[in-house]
Structure formats: structure tokens, C-alpha cells
Amino acid sequence: MILTASRRWWAKNALYVYAIVLGLASGLMTYVLYFFGGRGSFWGITTGESKIGGLAWSYFIDPGIANTYYHQVFKLVNPLSDPTQMIVIGILLGGLLASLALGEFTIRHFPNSWMAVQALIGGFLLGYGARMALGCNIGNYLSAWSSAGVNAVAFTAGIIPGVWVGTLIVERFFLLKARPLRFTVIIPVWAQRFLLILALILVALLFYYGMGVAVKIWLVFGVVFGFIGYLSKICWATGFREITNPLYGGGRMLLATALAILLYTLSTWPLVASGAPVSLALAGGVGVLQVFLGGILFGAGMGVAGACIFSSEWRAASGSVYSMIVLFSTIFIGMPVLAYHYEFYVKTILQPLAGLSFYHLIGPLGVLVPLAYVLALIVLVRLRVGRFFP
């Protein structure tokens, strides 16, 4: 009886537990970077993704991309020397390790032609919008809210209508046509164990050859985040659809993402409030108008793809072909194309309130802003489903 009740409790609440763990692990990363590197940092994904995409684009399509204004700011460098690229690799390996360790790695979600087009469009919008705004659902949302960034407010304001539009596009053009093929490649358990060993060796090699303490730390926490992502199945796109399109969910994912923000905020507040050197997630100095516009495009990508940047990574790494296409389009099409347009946006769009956190404006009391946002999400879930924990 007790065992059965425990299993039922875990089945109902595992998502929330993992969300709390994700928030605490994110906060721990900030402290580890501070104690071992002298400066704490909030994490993000898409800066590293854009460099990976830019490197590939420079090798296979146009070497001149390295001379764009964008890549003069975000220079194309060896991934082994760059924490932002290493965390992307780490998340992919974390998702792979989790699926292999559980014996669940399968090549699945082969899309039909309509679904492949959906993945390409959604991925392109995710990549283009994320780098226009200089952040995604991690850097401009999870980390930005947790560091009380003004950019978090602007990005969220853009994502919400963007997700609504993206979901409408799916309902109008793809819902009845886009389908996964009934085909799955089952990987034998012995092969998964072998691949697990190879993946662990690869992590060890990357750690060994990683250049600098920060690179090693971002790699390790990337693996941790990817592992948690696969176990939890957490996805910000689902959470936002629960705001804009209530029929798509009952508020569980929205509440989980709110808990992640809450624990990330509370765990890092003492370090930030103490005045210790910490790099906040503030969209690299881009103003709130550009962040808002990028957020609209990014939100539309979330709605079309049915995924966020983070979930695309751990899903692709665990064998989802659909997510592989989304991620490919994000990194190797959307982001490189944006690099050619970035200078125009930066020099044409007004850039007010760039690089500001509410911590800058009202000191330690800036923590009240993300706490108020989390409370608003919890109240929304309560009003939507009639209880706090759906």
C-alpha cells in the first residue's frame, strides 16, 4: 500500500520535483563559477548555438559570416575554449546519457513531409528570434527572470502573442496533415550500454581537453541540465501554450517552469544581493524593444515547432528525428541567417533600457519582481484549473 501510494505520488509530482532540482542546480552553477572562477554567471544556450552554427556555416557555405557585425561581437572560436558552446554540447550529452542509462534511447518521431516542413519553419523562427533578442527561454526567460532582468519582461511580453500566433498556424495548416511515420528503430539494450560507455568517455575527454575552469564547469552543468531535462520532460513551449491556448494543457508545465524560476531566484539572491561579481542574464546590452520583437518571433517558433530550445536539445539527443530537424534548423539555418541582419536591427531599432536589471534599479529588493511574476503564474494556474497543483 505504502509503495503503491509512493509511486502514485511520484507519478503526479515528479515534474515539479525535477523543476525544483533544475532551479537549484542552476543556482548552484552560479555559485560554483563564483568560487572557482571569481565571477558568478547565469546560464544560457543560444549564444553557444549561434557560434556552432556560425562555424559550420563558415566552413560549408560562406567564410565571410565571420566578418559580420554579429560574429564580431560573438566571435567564432574553438568550442573547447568557449563555455557557451560547451554547455550546448553538455546538454546534448546529458539527454543522451539519460536515455541510454534508462535503456530508452530509440530513433523515433520520423516526420512525414508536412511535419518536416513544420519542424524547419519552427526551428528557423526559434533560431532567428532567439538571436535577434539575444536569448531564448533560458537566457531571456528562466535566467533573466531569476536575475530580475528588465529584458525578461520584454521577452515574455513578446513570447505570449508569438506562441498564440504560432499555435494558430499549426491549427490552420499543419494539425491535420503533419504526422509522425509509424516507424521506430529500437536499439538493443547491449548496444545502448555500449553507447553509454562511449558517451561517458566523450564527456571525460571534453572535460580533460576543455580550456579553462569555466569551460569545464559549463560542460558539467550542461550534462546535468540535459539529464534533468530528459527525466522531467520539461518544456517551456508547453507551459506557454497553457497560457495562450488553455486546451493544450492543464497548467502542470506552466507551474513547473514557475517553480524552476522561483528556486533559481531564491538560491542566487544572497550572492547577487551581497554585491559579489555576477554576470546577470541581460541580453548582451540589446534594448527591450528588440528583445520584445525577437520574443514575438521566438514565441511563434515555439508555437509552430511545439518545442523550446532546451527541450529540442534533450529530445534530439534521445533520438527524436523531428527534434533533430527543429534543432538543425535552429542552429544551422535560423541563427546564421540572423547574423547577416543583426547589425541592421541593432543600428535601426531604438535600444532603450539595455542591460538593466531591477537589482540595478532598486537594489536587493529587485528580487520582488521575479517573485511577483512567479506568484502571477501560480495564481493563473489556480484560476485556470481550480487548484494550485494540477
pLDDT tens for residues 337-389? Answer: 999 999 999 999 999 999 999 999 999 999 999 999 999 999 998 887 777 77
Total residue length of the chain: 390
Given a cut of 80, is residue 235 above it in pLDDT? yes
pLDDT, residue 163, reads 96
End-to-end C-alpha distance for the chain, whole angstroms:
23
Given a cut of 70, is residue 210 above it in pLDDT? yes
pLDDT tens for residues 105-124? Answer: 999 999 999 999 999 999 99
Given a cut of 80, is residue 249 above it in pLDDT? no
Q: How confident is the model at residue 241 (pLDDT cuts 50, 70, 90)?
A: very high
Distance of CA 364 to the CA centre of its chain: 26
Using DSSP's 3-state secondary structure scheme, residue 51 falls into helix
Q: How confident is the model at residue 1 (pLDDT cuts 50, 70, 90)?
A: low
Q: How confident is the model at residue 281 (pLDDT cuts 50, 70, 90)?
A: very high
Q: Which residues contact 86 (CB under 8 A, 6 or more apart)?
A: 48, 79, 80, 206, 210, 215, 218, 219, 222
pLDDT, residue 320, reads 97
Q: What is the Cα–Cα distance from 142 to 159, expressed in whole angstroms? A: 13
pTM of the model: 0.96
Q: Over pLDDT 90: what percentage of the chain?
A: 91
Rg of the Cα atoms in the chain? 20
Domain ranges of the chain: 17-385
pLDDT tens for residues 45-97? Answer: 999 999 999 999 999 999 999 999 999 999 999 999 999 999 999 999 999 99
Q: Over pLDDT 70: what percentage of the chain?
A: 98
The per-residue pLDDT of the chain, averaged, comes to 95
